Amino acid sequence: MQNLPTRAMYLLAALIVAGGATDAAATPLTPYRYEAQAQRHCRDDTVVWLDFRKGIYYLKQQTRYARSSTGSFVCRAEARSNGYRRSLLGLQ
Q: What is the pLDDT of residues 27-68, one digit of tens each?
A: 789 999 999 999 999 999 999 999 999 999 999 999 999 998
Give the residue from 61, 50, 33, 60 showing the smallest Cα distance to 85: 50
pLDDT bin (cut points 50, 70, 90) of residue 23 is very low
Is the residue at 10 inside a domain? no
Average pLDDT over residues 17-34: 69
Has residue 9 been placed in a domain?
no
* Domains in the chain, number: 1
70-79 pLDDT, tens digit per residue, is: 999 999 999 9
Residue 70 lies in a domain: yes
Give dist(CA 12, CA 39) in Å, integer: 45
Q: How much is the pLDDT for 46?
A: 96
The pTM of the whole model exceeds 0.85: no
Residue 41 maps to a domain: yes
Domain region containing 41: 26-86
